[in-house]
Amino acid sequence: MPVHILPTINGQTSLYGIIGHPVRHTLSPVMHNAAFASMGANSVYLPFPVLPEDLHDAVQGLKALGIKGVSVTIPHKEAILPLLDEVEPLAQKIGAVNTLVVTEINGKKHLRGSNTDWLGAMRALSQKISLRGAEMVLLGAGGSARAIGYGLQQEGARLVLCSRTETRGRALAAELGCPWQSLEDISHLRGTALINATSVGMQPDIQHSPVPAALLSRFQVVMDIVYAPLATRLLQEAEKAGCQTINGLEMLLHQGVAQFELWTGGPAPIELMRQHLYRATGNIHPQSTG
């Protein structure tokens, strides 16, 4: 096992972190602190548990304490929007941010919100396929599906949205300008890739898959945003069907890489971040895909 040396904390240390509730389980400090350490940066990334009723005070505190950048996770990704000074256009469309960059404009702290969840999914998918013109089947109608759907739209993919809840699914499909299909009636669907943006298959219900195994051979690539467990039933059955697979840690990795790039303005040590993420979950990291 490698020896982890804590950075020297002093008056020059730049502070980054993640706000959400709960955040005890978050893997973000693992990859971001490894990245900062590899660059020799005097920076540290910490988890900050913030209850919904404390969000306004927490956002003001970010400015007052001189924090440089923040990841935003459940349940604050949508509620935080009206508290920010600026929200990037695509994040505004998605209706959620997961990244804050703190700058200074005219002597005042300025909070800009971005969304790298969609970018993380697109980068993970792009390791396997070309997205422009690809036929994608997206499962889910929640926040993750929304971010991925807008990302696919941005990249020029053709999309079919599938969900169990018709009202919510049709509403999101209308926004994305794509067809909606009930998740109970997808036997005729096929495409370049299938993306599971639901929580089906997540611990403790690891025996479940969102789609029948017999359908998976119709897709070149199957991606699951769930990373606990890493090898979901969906991904196991997809491998047996001859599909290329993308696990949930890859999306987490790539959205974190995009965050790091926003905060530092430079390239992130992606392979190092990947190694630390996989090691933290007790898995052997795969060979680099690019």
Question: In sequence order, what DSSP letters do the residues of 182-215 get, joined into one string?
Answer: ETT--TT--EEEEEE-S-TT-TT-TT--SS-GGG
Q: Cα dihedral sign for 228, 229, 231, 234?
A: negative
Specify whether the CB–CB gap between 85 and 137 falls below 8 A.
no
Nearest alpha carbon to residue 39 among 65, 16, 71: 16
Which H or E run contains 17? Answer: strand 14-20
The one catalytic residue in 77, 108, 109, 240 is: 77
Q: How far is 30 from 266, CA to CA, in rounded Å? A: 19
State yes or no: is 77 an active-site residue: yes
Measured distance CA(238)–CA(110) in Å, rounded: 45
Catalytic residues: 77
